[in-house]
Structure 1
Amino acid sequence: METWEIDFAARPWVDAQGKKVWELLVCSRSGNYRYFAQCSQKEVTRAWILDNLGKAMVESGQKPGQIRFLSPSGMLEQACIQLEIPSRMSRRVFWVRRWLYDREQNVYPTYEGYCPQPLSSIPPQPLPDPLVAQRWAFVSLCAADLMGISTDRLFGEVFPLDLAPETVVPGLVFFSPRATAMAAWMQGVEPVAVQFCDKERLILEAGAGERWVVVRPRDRAIQQEASLFEERKIPSQGFHFLAIQAGVDSEEPTGFWTLWDTPPS
């Protein structure tokens, strides 16, 4: 049974009465189904969510095997319990995040009553000891090869990509003799994105909002590699990946995750 990704939250615009407008975005992990609904602040109830999830299931002809949701919502969690669908909050909801990013860039600014919300993030912290690698390297794969990777025997998660097979997808590999333990730990923290920030820090984003400094590259050649890593996110539409291997000569990774970040402007 398929996983659905959902975001239910107030959006950055208000209606004629000056009240926040809420939106429910639903999409399948395969990317072949979407459902959209809006409501006013006073309509935000568990009953409204149940009604619209029911409509989505009828329209799609399926009941999802699980639901991952982006924004915290006790009402959505309770609705999922009532529908007997396992659910949890996660930022590894790349299809719904891409949809939301498109609306933030191209839809909401066209609305009367648009109120842009300032972006905020917590200061990055040192990388936890269990995730400190012996070595690391920037690498790349074509989209076809990336989609051919199976995580059945690995830690990790590979997402379907709507990219041309020859598209170059950038990545970061951690090398460590503790690869199995590191990959198990990484699985628990749910990696979301790797970013080269301010041209001075390589940041790993994970979990609900964690940000960790992988390295502060001082060498000019490494800084150039990091900049190229960011540039390659443009043709890959923000998709990139993280891998963990025991060593450079290992035949396959111990862990592999597809990641997504808003493409560099």
Structure 2
Amino acid sequence: MATLSFNPTRIRTPSFKYYNHIPTTSRSPSTILPCTNIPSIYNRNPSKLRRFRPYSVSESSVSIQKEEGVLDDVEGGGEEEDDPTAELSYLDPETDVESISEWELDFCSRPILDVRGKKVWELLVCDNSLSLQYTKYFPNNVINSITLKDAIVNISQELGVPLPEKIRFFRSQMQTIITKACKELGITSIPSKRCLSLLLWLEERYETVYMRHPGFQKGSKPLLALDNPFPMELPENLFGERWAFVQLPYSAIREEVSSLETNFVFGAGLDLDLLGIEIDDKTLIPGLAVASSRAKPLAAWMNGLEVCSIEADTARACLILSVGISTRYVYATYKKSPVTTSEAEAWEAAKKACGGLHFLAIQEDLDSEDCVGFWLLLDLPPPPV
């Protein structure tokens, strides 16, 4: 079974050279997605879904590129061990600074105590390609929007980059502070769990920095845990008309992601190089296809939601759509039976086998070869801090 392996060569540390197809019903749009029956995915005719192929667990596999750790690269090289108390201010010299228009930001306490016995806070900022990386520690008595606003300006000035157009963040508890600081600087703040680079960087820093810090508190629970609320009813404008569990070979996934820009398709991709994942072009990636006669308006609405992931909830016999930071919707329901439960479990198993990788496709018809919306998604565990 595949597990994600973060690509350490993308991270800078202070010591390394610097720091189906469910048939539609005749009811109103508010009841179209929920269904009464699901045909077996194992028997679905591939020609009916064309490029989306019926799912089979045995066909799905992912090999993970096991990068050697950065510490291994310098072992025996005579360089001093990195200082976990050091701060980082890095900009890739080959990067066009004008291209960095979006930042990912976390401003939260760490499992580290200062000399006063109080938890240290840290500002962590990067862009999605990790071309920009910045860290700074703060005492807990200066945590406010003014401190954050000044820090954002300082990053821009210190690294010589323009203020970003957008800043994404994933902690709902910090929304007021982050939103206020961004608003005063004319920056759009976006609550979103699609802070993939930031989340993986936090996981990496927990092991390589925080655990080695002299003030580290083992067993300390996160001060601002991520929310996982009960799913709500789906807004009417987000309903489709038909849906199906599907799969695409990875080669087709790459084509769909590239078409987001070339064909002006709604949606979002992921930086798989950042994950250190190597996927064979024939590897099948599980997904969900949604068809609607109003596919373009539906995709446009979805595009503004920061789509995070889709989960098959077998206990409730439904699909859960996660968007933004903590919003969860009942995206579709189905009649619970051994067959439908088995299908949903198989789809979840496929995601797990692919390290959590899956997708959402919106089409005008399930038989169509074109998508008007495509989102590559990833289930990630919550960060350890």
Using the alignment, how far apart are the partners of 2:180 and 2:311 within structure 1?
Answer: 34
Q: Secondary structure at the match of 1:256?
A: strand
Equivalent of 1:210, from 315, 327, 337?
Answer: 327
Map of 1:237 onto structure 2:
355
Q: Relative to structure 1, is the Cα distance of residues 164 and 77 closer, same or farther in structure 2, using a 3 angstrom cutoff? A: same
Alignment of 1:87-166 (within 5 A): 87-101=189-203, 111-112=216-217, 114-117=219-222, 120-149=227-256, 150-152=259-261, 153-162=264-273, 163-166=277-280
- How far off its partner does 1:65 sit? 4.3
Instruction: Indicate the SS of the match to 2:351.
Output: coil
Same amino acid, percent of matched pairs:
36
Alignment: residue pair count: 264
Separation in 2, partners of 1:108, 1:196 = 35
Which has a greater percent of strand? 1
Distance 2:335 2:209 in 1: 38
Deviations 1:22-61 (A, max 9, x none): 2222221224443233222024355653565456446765
**SS of equivalent to 1:189:** coil
SS at match of 2:347: helix
Residue 21 of structure 1, aligned match among 89, 106, 120? 120
The residue type paired with residue 127 of structure 1 is L
TM-aligned CA distance change 1:12 to 1:125, over 3 Å: farther
C-alpha distance after superposition, 1:165-222 (max 9, x if no partner): 4254321111122212221222233321111235543211113422112224524333
Residues 104-134 of structure 1 show CA distances to partners (whole Å, capped at 9, x for unaligned) of 7897678326432466422112322332332
Using the alignment, how far apart are the partners of 1:254 and 1:244 within structure 2? 6
Which residue number corresponds to residue 193 of structure 1? 309
Structure 1 residues 119 and 12: CA distance shift in structure 2, 3 A: farther
TM-score, structure 1 normalization: 0.80
Distance 1:57 1:239 in 2: 34
Separation in 2, partners of 1:83, 1:243: 35
Once the two structures are overlaid, the 10-residue window that deviates more, 193-202 or 76-85, is 76-85
Report how far residue 252 of structure 1 moved: 0.8
Secondary structure of 1:4's partner? strand
Q: 1:179 aligns with which of 284, 291, 295?
A: 295
Provide the alpha-carbon RMSD of the alignment.
3.3
State the alpha-carbon separation in 2 of the partners of residues 87 and 231 from structure 1: 35
**Unpaired segments of 5 or more residues in structure 1?**
none
Amino acid in structure 1 at the alignment position of 2:128 = R
Structure 1 residue runs of 4+, over 6 Å off?
104-110
Q: Name the SS of the counterpart of 1:231 in structure 2.
A: helix
Q: Cα distance 1:62–1:236, how it changes in 2: closer, same or farther (>3 A)?
A: farther
Aligned equivalents of 1:107, 1:144: Cα separation in 2: 37
- Alpha-carbon spacing, 1:181–1:220, altered in 2? closer, same or farther (3 Å): farther
Q: Distance in 2 between matches of 1:141 and 1:16?
A: 54
Distance 1:120 1:76, change over 3 A: closer
In the alignment, structure 2 segments of 5+ residues that lack a partner are 1-98
TM superposition score normalised by structure 2:
0.58
Task: For residue 212 of structure 1, give the secondary structure of its aligned residue in structure 2.
Answer: strand
Structure 1 residue 68, shift from structure 2 partner: 1.8
**Separation in structure 2 between the aligned mates of residue 104 and residue 235 of structure 1, nearest angstrom:** 25
Which structure's relative contact order is higher, taking Cα pairs within 8 Å and 6+ residues apart? 2
Distance in 2 separating the partners of 1:123 and 1:227? 20
Q: Do the aligned residues in 1 keep the contact of 2:122 with 2:135 (CA within 8 Å)?
A: yes
Once residues 34 and 262 of structure 1 are traced to their aligned partners in structure 2, the CA distance between those partners, rounded to angstroms, is: 21
Indicate the SS of the match to 1:151.
Answer: helix
Q: Check the 8 A contact 1:14/1:113 in 2, yes or no.
A: no
